[in-house]
Amino acid sequence: MTIATHELLPGATDPPLGRVVFLNGTSSSGKSTVAEELLRTLDGPWYHLAVDHFHRARSRHDWTDEEFLPIFQRTVLGFHRVVAGMASAGNDVVVDHILGERWRLADCLEVFAGFPVYFVGVHCALPELERRERARGNRTIGRAALQFPQVHQAMQYDVEVHTDEQTPTECATQIIHQLHTPPTAFSSRSR
């Protein structure tokens, strides 16, 4: 049996780096909704990659907390590298993530060094986060409250949106407007 092969398009072996719109916010802050609106609104092909998708893709077992922690960390570290792989192949990516622990940010700063990363703070007031958690029914109640004081601590963003005050379309429009200028927040951050 012969398998058809196709040659790569000219320039496909060394494409320019894709843009990364990096949405950082607590659980239930509206990152996925904003990402979906961005994909509907942005020109050209964009990919939405969410850390939650990677956790759901993992096999399920009854691990102890001690057994699960390194598995969890490897999943997050792998997610960062998948995003970088997509962008290094010239794909534009919207990332949906929670940088609630310093090791996540440190790894992202290393992995995405040199990439055009637009760092977006996705904010939502705690009472609204708690209301959304209860309404969704598929979230651990209290997770957003635990993440709330940590996720945006000492962060500098290229743009910040407030999903409890703005519609998804308004958030997306604000982010897209920022794409007309070079990003600075992520690349200038010291480790």
Question: Catalytic residues, which ones?
Answer: 52
**Residue 161 and residue 174 in contact, taking contact as beta carbons nearer than 8 Å:** yes
Annotated binding residue 30? yes
State the CB neighbour count (10 A cutoff) for residue 107.
18
Interatomic CA distance for residues 116 and 151, integer angstroms? 21
Annotated binding residue 190? no
Annotated binding residue 121? no
Give kind and range of the element (H or E) at residue 32. Answer: helix 31-41
What phi, psi does 25 have (nearest 5°)? -170, 170
Contacts (Cβ under 8 Å, ≥6 apart) of 171:
30, 34, 37, 122, 161, 162, 163
Annotated binding residue 88? no
Q: What's the gap between Cα 187 and its chain centre?
A: 16
* Count, residues in the chain: 191
Annotated binding residue 26? yes
Binding residues: 25-32
Binding residues for ATP: 25-32
